[in-house]
A and B are shown apart, each in its own frame.
Chain A
Amino acid sequence: MVKKIREIARKLLEEGKVDVVLGYEKGTEPLSERPFVARTVEEVERLTYSPFAIQNLATYLPRFNNNKVAILARGCTTRAINVLISEGQIERDKIYVIGIPCNGVIKTRELRESIGEEIEDVSIQNGEIVIKTTTEEKKVKFEDWLNISCKYCEYPNPLFYDVLVGEEVKPRGGGYPDVEDYEKLDEDKRWEIFEAEMSKCVRCYACRQSCPMCYCEHCFVDSTEPRWVEPGFDKTDLESWHLIRVLHMAGRCVDCGTCELVCPEGVKLLFLTRKVARDLKRDFDYVSGLNPEKPPFFGEFRYDDKGDFIL
């Protein structure tokens, strides 16, 4: 797979079809497959790919608007591209999509932190992640460390591509059992968990910055008039930040999981975004990023939209 990716990237750059290739390279941290922008044929040799590549690369597209770009894209990356097109942020013609059927990505930060020892080497073999530390070899199940969105992903295959690397995979699917489990908890318990999660937030905004949909030049959280979120670390402000962010994501979030996976404090965020995604799908038959021609969820309505909650 990596060989094929490099081959394609090299050709694109050599023929001048694109200026840059957005891909991944091996990082310096254990379990890190980090974003990498290849600009030259020599740099193509650094491109790699693995389930540790957590960052949704669509996040970088708007900043390369003046270039012709090739991008490695999984299902959720293509969905993000669709949303960006539908919101007028990028143009499809300028983007060359190297499609990657996806087996899911791993919660790399959480896994790395759970090991608690120096990690020397990592490999994936027969559905297991094999982690060699200074003292032992640990094996964990691939499926156990999957990003929750990937675990139930309906669209692992790129929705469109200019070239596909590898064979299409079968979607795991499975809906939103995580959201349903949360709903079953009683009200106070739900609040307790929500509050505990949000309280961990240090307002570094890595979640926002890594999200392909958060391209706003002026984010509401930075607004001083009105002050949707006040400065400081009062729980209500941390909660407001995340609640409103999730509202901004309604019908836009493509459930890639990047926000949660990159959070340095391990704040759980997907139980919120996935809840909204579930509602939209169940109650409005709306799934984000499937069609670049479709207006955003909040930019349209149906006469028979749910209204029984209104007196």
Chain B
Amino acid sequence: MADYEPKILTILCNWCSYAGADLAGTSRIQYPSNIRVVRVPCSGRVNPQFIVKALRDGVDAVWISGCHPGDCHYITGNYFARRRFYVLKDLLEYVGLEKGRIHFSWVSASEGKRFADIATLVTEEVKKLGPRKKFVKRR
């Protein structure tokens, strides 16, 4: 498993978490290169279907990050998102997908270090799980 390099779809909101990732970069804080970033206007833009589709399309895990509650650029986007993610995460785990394939976090624009820490944590957890055996499309 040592050379298993998972692909982690990472969806970041433009105003906080993406800026946080940027800060991590400009501050030269190291974090694993397994994350593949997609920038969205707000975590409220993330339809749970994105996550299901990404997994079916073959990513090893999905990580979604937005502004801390109260800090959303659109005031309430992340509150709406929180409900959806809760339902989705619970449903996927209920049907038996391993815990640890989907992650959520709040990271602000000033939390470059926190961004890198979570990226490391998520990557390590997914590495521990190994390649995905469930929900893998044959062709």
Contact = CB atoms under 8 A, between A and B. Distances in A.
Interface stretch (B6-14, B19-27, B28-36, B79-87): B79-87
B53 A228 contact: yes
Contact of A250 (B87, B105, B138): B87
A243 interface: yes
Given A272-B91, A305-B79, A244 B52 contact: yes
Contact of B94 (A190, A239, A280): A190
Interface in A237-295: 237, 239-240, 243-244, 246-247, 250, 272, 275-276, 279-280, 283-284
Contacts of A283: 86
Interface string B94-109: 1111110001111000
A214 to B, nearest CB: 16
A311 B135 contact: no
Contacts of A301: 76, 79-80, 82-83
Interface in A158-206: 182-183, 187-195
Contacts of B59: none
B127 to A, nearest CB: 17
Contacts of B118: 311
Contact of B88 (A182, A247, A280, A284): A247
Contacts of B87: 247, 250, 276, 279-280
Contact of A240 (B52, B76, B83, B98): B52
B91 A236 contact: no
Given A189-B96, A191-B134, A239-B135, A305 B49 contact: no
B95 A236 contact: no
A11 B76 CA distance: 51
Interface in B108-135: 118, 121, 134-135
Interface of B: 48-49, 52-53, 56, 69, 76, 79-80, 82-99, 103-106, 118, 121, 134-139
Which 3 pairs show the lowest CB-CB distances between chains A and B?
A: A191-B96, A190-B96, A311-B105
Interface of A: 182-183, 187-195, 220, 226-228, 230, 234, 236-237, 239-240, 243-244, 246-247, 250, 272, 275-276, 279-280, 283-284, 297-298, 301-303, 305-307, 309-311
10 contacts: A187-B99, A190-B96, A239-B95, A244-B49, A247-B52, A247-B88, A297-B83, A298-B84, A301-B79, A306-B86
Given A275-B94, A311-B103, A311-B121, 6 more contacts: A192-B96, A247-B48, A247-B52, A247-B84, A247-B91, A301-B76
